[in-house]
Amino acid sequence: MTRFICSCGGKLTGRIRVPGDKSISHRSIILSSIASGISNISGFLQGEDSLNTIRAFQQMGVMIERDHDQIQVKGAGLYGLQAADSDLDMGNSGTAMRLMLGLLSGQAFDSRLIGDKSLSSRPMQRVIDPLQSMGAVIESESGGRAPLRVSGNHSLTAIEYDMPVASAQVKSCLLLAGIYARGETIVREPATTRDHSERMLRGFGCEVISNNAEVRFYGRQKLHACNIDVPADISSAAFFMVAASIAGDSEITLEHVGINPTRTGVIDILNLMGADISLDNQREMGGEPVADIRVRSVELNGIDIPQELVPLAIDEFPVLFVAAACARGTTRLRGADELRVKESDRIQVMADGLSVLGVEVETKVDGIVIQGGDYRGGEVESHGDHRIAMAFSVAALRASGEIRINDSANVNTSFPGFVELARDAGIRISTHAG
């Protein structure tokens, strides 16, 4: 058991670069592994989740060499993966498990996907159902939960699928299955979600047609190796964006951050709250837009968060709730029921922790209402959710006392070196065992 101890106060200064984007890191390994040729990946996230994805493909016979955040993948080709001699362990990553389920549905061999306790409690039926419509044969535990068993050697047929809930993981899962399917896979979203899979497939030479909230993709296209530069993860940068906004006399620059328009909901929401954020040195790297993000402290205002921004900031809401707790007035979020099935029920867990600190909150089935103002220190539970633990670390900047955050070890799944980087930036944080 790891606990974060965060002393109150502090300010943020300087220039930092957060680790590589987790979503892009997962996808870079998956697509490089089934491409023809050698792909070189720079800026790869050295977190436990993405390293598990590397191990899974090594188990399936792919030659992958790693030198810190530099990765070289000798692709096995579309049909070159081999059966693993043991379970494929996705650790804590719902993204990896859902994407791998789509890919493995098109293989000629059987596979079994497992994860940690948290991942094994998360619902997978949302991807199992459409995959079965394509002809995949998948067995799960009750409620569509892991372990998941995928039977190989079943021909897949493309489908036209209207997603009931906006989810980039579901969309990407179906596109990966669609690589092996006969015909044209068509996926329609109720709202725009991150498009890393579509961009990266094009980078590997595939034709993918995106039109508003519809993606069309013909199966059995050959992938050709390419080089990928993984930008810094905007979800990780979000903690420092909020931190610099709420801490007095702060200014920080976050370098080389991915600003894919399907991921910048956190910037849009903070701007609506009155944040002082500027994007400098904008450029494109490997098909993904990046920029240096400069943030200065300012008094934030509570807002009604526009529902169209919810899918574009779904992973950043824990720390946005902290911004709301520091803002003048009331912040209301609706249409975010997806938050209840993340690594934890992020609506309830954040509400419980904020209540411990004295913040006035009211939970809804699909959202939360937060009344901003002063709050105290206290002891909160992260329930093993990395984004919850980091969010409450940021909250200490404005607390009147120390905040202790229990069960914080899983921060390494998405943000290795978080404590050291946060301390260097000006957050007063330390770790304790037990």
The size of the chain, in residues, is 434
Angle 106-99-57 from CA coordinates, rounded to 5°:
75
* Tokens 């590589």, located at residue: 20
The answer to whether the CB of 45 falls within 8 A of the CB of 19 is: yes
Give the residue from 158, 155, 229, 234 showing the smallest Cα distance to 194: 234
Between CA 354 and CA 322 the distance in angstroms is: 8
Q: Do you find a cis peptide bond into 147, omega within 30 degrees of 0?
A: yes
| CA–CA separation, 73 and 60 (whole Å) | 13
- Calpha distance 57→31 (Å, rounded): 11
Instruction: Tell me whether strands 367-371 and 360-364 are parallel, antiparallel or unpaired.
Output: antiparallel
DSSP assignment of 355-384, as one string? Answer: HHTT-EEEEETTEEEEE-S-B--EEEE-TT
Q: Which of 115, 110, 86, 84 has its CA nearest to residue 98?
A: 115
Cα-based torsion angle of the residue sequence 150, 152, 157, 160 in order, rounded to the nearest 10 degrees = 20
Sign of CA pseudo-dihedral 25, 31, 34, 36 = negative
CA dihedral angle for residue 70, residue 76, residue 82, residue 86, rounded to 10 degrees: 0
Q: Of 195, 233, 292, 315, which is the active-site residue?
A: 315
User: Is residue 339 within 8 Å of residue 368, measured between CB atoms?
Assistant: no
315 is catalytic: yes
Cβ proximity of 240 and 16 under 8 Å? yes
User: Would you say 375 and 358 are in contact if contact means Cβ atoms under 8 Å apart?
Assistant: yes
Question: Would you state the structure tokens that stand for residue 88, as one six-digit string?
Answer: 């494929």
Q: Between β-strands 251-258 and 228-229, what pairing exists: parallel, antiparallel or unpaired?
A: unpaired
Residues recognised as catalytic: 315
